Structure formats: structure tokens, C-alpha cells
Amino acid sequence: MARRCPDATANPYLAFAVALTCALTGIVQKLEPPDPLDESFVTYDDAELKRRGVPRLPGTLGEALDYAATGNRGLNFHDARGTLSQPYPYSQLRTEARAIADRLIAAGVGPQDRLAPAPGPGPGVAPPFLGAAADARGPGRGPPATVRPRPRAGAADPGGGSGRPQTGKGMVGY
């Protein structure tokens, strides 16, 4: 068996862990492996991939969120003792992320603006990030802004010393 790195930008440890998990799942479930493939999918166009039954992976964070929202899974948040405090379905996360994206756009935040969402810990952390960073408003609509993390203490501050990125729009509440 030969295994190639899926992409030069892929995390090799994560790629190997996924491949190993798939192999072990197949062994445990006694799945029959597919026929070997002696060519590269890279050379196939969309029509050939579709003809061969190869599903298309989400191309953006927003598409991945849309796909995840079609299922019944989500994020689980636990308290300090490890007790489940709140299940958070992806469908709810997508709805809240889209609402935040719409509010950011209504406030005048644009694609070249930089934001630093800073919600507290817990379930509230995901929608502001996804609303700003993902094309959460729907397919092909693009993200409303670029998300930049807050600089570490002593690091160069892109916000001109304020600790906050400069957007020219003032603070936007979400």
C-alpha cells in the first residue's frame, strides 16, 4: 500500500491520523476495500469526478458549516468539572454566524477590514469568529472581514498601540 501526502499545505500528522483512523475503522467494521486506483484524481475535472462518484469537499469554511448544519451533530461545551453544560448544534451555530455576518456588514465592515472577535469562553466563542471569517451569509457571498488575532504582549500591534485592530468603523457589537 502506498500513501501520499494529500496536499503540500496539509498538516502531515493530521493527514496520517485521518488515514490511520479510516484504516482502523475499515478493519473493525470488516469493510471491503475499494478497487485500487492507479491514477491521480488531480487530473480529473468536475464532470469526471462526478461520473466516478467522488464527492466534492467543501471549498470554504462557510460551505463546511452549511454541510455540517445538515446533520444532527454540533459542538459540546463542558464546565470546569467536565460536565456537559451545553450542546450546540451546527444548525444553530450557522444561523447565529449568519446573523452576526449580516450585522457586521450593516455596520459597514468590509472585506478589507480587520476584526478581533473577543467573546468570553463557552458557546459564544464560535458565532462571532465564523460570522466574521466565513462566508456564513451563504454560498458565494464571501466573508465580511479578515479576522486577526489580538497581538501577544510585547508583539507588534497592528492597531497602532490600542490593542485593537484599526477598522475605521469603531467598535462593532455582536
- Residue 23 placed within a domain: yes
- Residue 169 placed within a domain: no
- Antiparallel, parallel or unpaired: β 146-147 and 114-115: parallel
- Residue 76 placed within a domain: yes
- Residue 53 placed within a domain: yes
- For 105-134, the pLDDT digits (tens) are 788 877 777 777 676 666 777 787 777 776
Q: What is the extent of the structural domain holding 22?
A: 12-147
How many domains does the chain divide into? 1
pTM, rounded to two decimals: 0.56
- Residue 156 placed within a domain: no
- Residue 164 placed within a domain: no
DSSP for the chain reads: -----S-TTS-HHHHHHHHHHHHHHHHHTTPPPPPP--S-GGG--HHHHHHTTPPPPPSSHHHHHHHHHTSS-EEEEE-TTS-EEEEEEHHHHHHHHHHHHHHHHHTT--TT-EE-----SSGGGHHHHHHHHS-TTSTTS--SSEE-PPPPTTS--TTTTSSS---SS-----
- For 10-69, the pLDDT digits (tens) are 788 888 888 889 889 999 999 998 887 777 777 888 898 889 888 877 877 778 888 889
